[in-house]
Amino acid sequence: MSYLTLALAKGRTAEASINLLANAGIHFSHLNEDSRKLVFYDDDSMIRLIFVKAVDVPTYVENGAADVGIVGKDNIIEEQPDIYELLDLEFGQCHFAVAGFSGTNLHKDGTLTVASKYPTAAEKHFNRQGIPIETIKLNGSVELAPVIGLADVIVDIVETGGTLRENGLTILEEMEAISTRLIVNKASFTTKSERVHTFINTLKKGWNDVS
């Protein structure tokens, strides 16, 4: 039997994802969130795990390099992959928000500049309101942009709100709620149907046991 390949997001949800898998009886030796190794095997469940940047998980799954993936809804909204999203795993909860200095006018004359790791999500949000924006794509430390004068506001995920507070910023508009999802490649869902369903049921069991 060949391996079912699982793409797992590094970063903020990695530890909870690894715990969920362990709770479901899927163990990868030496796997931890700080690991420099990128491929792990569990020969009991015949699962090959690839440990990739969260933003890349949708790409691996869409292209069939991974059959299934565990990743935040933020990356799914941003990348808009052609995949099936089958389970809300309910951890890694946070939400998208527009943030900036208190009192920032989002309806100012001219174009609002918005810095974000999520330019597509930002554009969608402001398009819906008919507010013209220019997006500035950043890859991290986004809160710096209004502070340093690079952008009027940011669109980012907010979990505890600590990073905003530490930088003197505040939420100006709440956006979508985010949590971790299980996604599946469309071809694998058909051609490896039994394997995929077994994996989902195993995961559900581990999930029920922790929740």
Which residues would be at the binding site for ligand PRP (CB under 6 A)? 11-12, 140-143, 156-163
User: 198 phi and psi, to 5 degrees?
Assistant: -60, -45
Beta-strand pair 94-100/84-88: unpaired
**């100012």: which residue's tokens?**
108
CB of residue 138 vs ligand PRP: minimum separation in angstroms? Answer: 8
Shortest separation between residue 165's beta carbon and ligand PRP, angstroms: 8
Sheet holding 68-72, edge to edge: 39-42, 47-52, 4-9, 68-72, 180-184, 84-88
Identity of the residue numbered 40: F
Residue matched to tokens 């991290």: 140
Q: Provide the minimum distance between the beta carbon of 133 and ligand PRP in the complex, in angstroms, as a whole number.
A: 18
For ligand PRP, the closer CB: 59 or 167: 167
The residue number with the shortest CB distance to ligand PRP is 140
Nearer residue to ligand PRP within complex by CB, 24 or 138: 138
Q: How far is the CB of 11 from ligand PRP (least distance, A)?
A: 6
Q: Which is nearer to ligand PRP, 9 or 26 (CB)?
A: 9
Of residues 24 and 142, the one with the C-beta less far from ligand PRP: 142
Tokens of residue 7, six digits: 């793409």
What are residue 146's phi and psi, to 5 degrees?
A: -70, -35
